[in-house]
Amino acid sequence: MTSAPSAEQTTRIPDDIARAVVLPESYGDEKNVTYPAFSWLRQNLPVGQAFVDGYDPLWLITKFDDIMTVEKNHSLFNASMNNPILNTQAGDAFLRSLTPDGSIRYLDALPFLDPPEHTQIKAATSNWFTPKNVAKFADRIRAIAREDVEKLLSFDGECDWATDFALYYPLRVILGLFGIPQDDLPLMLKLTQEFFGANDPDEKRDDVEVSPEAAARQFQAAFADFFAYFDQFTEDRRTNPRDDLMSVIANAKIDGKFLGQATVNGSYLQVATAGHDTTSSTVSGVAIAMAQQPDQWQRVREDHSLISNMVNEAVRWTSPVKHFMRSASEDTVLHGVQIRKGDRLMLNYPSGNRDEDYFADADTFDLDRSPNKHLGFGFGGHMCIGQHIARIEMEILFEELAPKIKKIELAGEPKPIKTNFVSSFKSVPVKFTKA
Instruction: Report the CATH number at residue 31.
Output: 1.10.630.10
Residue 334 has pLDDT above 90, yes or no: yes
Average pLDDT over residues 367-381: 94
Is 286 domain-assigned?
no
> Does residue 197 contact residue 277 with C-beta atoms inside 8 Å?
no
- Predicted pLDDT of residue 413: 96
Is 302 domain-assigned?
no
Residue range 84-110, pLDDT digits in tens: 999 999 999 999 999 999 999 999 999
8 confidence band (pLDDT: 50, 70, 90): low
CA contacts within 13 A on the Cβ side of 26: 18
- Predicted pLDDT of residue 7: 54
Distance (Å, rounded) from C-alpha 421 to C-alpha 250?
Answer: 27
Helices (H), 231-273: 234-239, 245-250, 261-272
Average pLDDT over residues 45-56: 97
Residue 67 has pLDDT above 80, yes or no: yes
Residue 53 has pLDDT above 90, yes or no: yes
Distance (Å, rounded) from C-alpha 202 to C-alpha 212?
Answer: 17
Residue range 256-306, pLDDT digits in tens: 999 999 999 999 999 989 889 999 999 999 999 999 999 999 999 999 999
Is 328 domain-assigned?
yes
Is 182 domain-assigned?
no
Is 250 domain-assigned?
no
> Does residue 34 contact residue 27 with C-beta atoms inside 8 Å?
yes
Average pLDDT over residues 52-60: 97
Is 336 domain-assigned?
yes
Residue 38 has pLDDT above 60, yes or no: yes
403 confidence band (pLDDT: 50, 70, 90): very high
- Predicted pLDDT of residue 363: 96
Residues β-bridged to residue 78: 327
Residue range 98-153, pLDDT digits in tens: 999 999 999 999 999 999 999 999 999 999 999 999 999 999 999 999 999 999 99
Is 23 domain-assigned?
yes
Average pLDDT, rounded, for the chain: 94
Distance (Å, rounded) from C-alpha 206 to C-alpha 217?
Answer: 12
- Predicted pLDDT of residue 151: 97
pTM, two decimal places: 0.95
| Domains: count for the chain | 1
Q: Is 226 exposed, middle or buried (0-12, 13-18, 19+ CB in 10 A)?
A: buried
Distance (Å, rounded) from C-alpha 138 to C-alpha 250?
Answer: 24
- Predicted pLDDT of residue 1: 30
Is 173 domain-assigned?
no
Residue 3 has pLDDT above 60, yes or no: no
Which domain, by its residues, includes 359? 1-101+322-375
Q: What letters, b where the CB count within 10 A reaches 16 and e where it falls short, cover 9-19?
A: eebbbeeebbb
Distance (Å, rounded) from C-alpha 246 to C-alpha 267?
Answer: 9
Residue range 359-370, pLDDT digits in tens: 999 999 999 999
The strand pair at 425-427 and 429-434 is best described as unpaired
Residue range 163-212, pLDDT digits in tens: 999 999 999 999 999 999 999 999 999 999 999 999 999 998 999 998 89
Residue 382 has pLDDT above 70, yes or no: yes
Could you count the other beta carbons within 10 Å of the beta carbon of residue 376?
26
2 confidence band (pLDDT: 50, 70, 90): very low
Residue 6 has pLDDT above 60, yes or no: no
Distance (Å, rounded) from C-alpha 357 to C-alpha 49?
Answer: 22
CA contacts within 13 A on the Cβ side of 344: 21
Residue 213 has pLDDT above 50, yes or no: yes
Could you count the other beta carbons within 10 Å of the beta carbon of residue 271?
23
Distance (Å, rounded) from C-alpha 294 to C-alpha 287?
Answer: 10
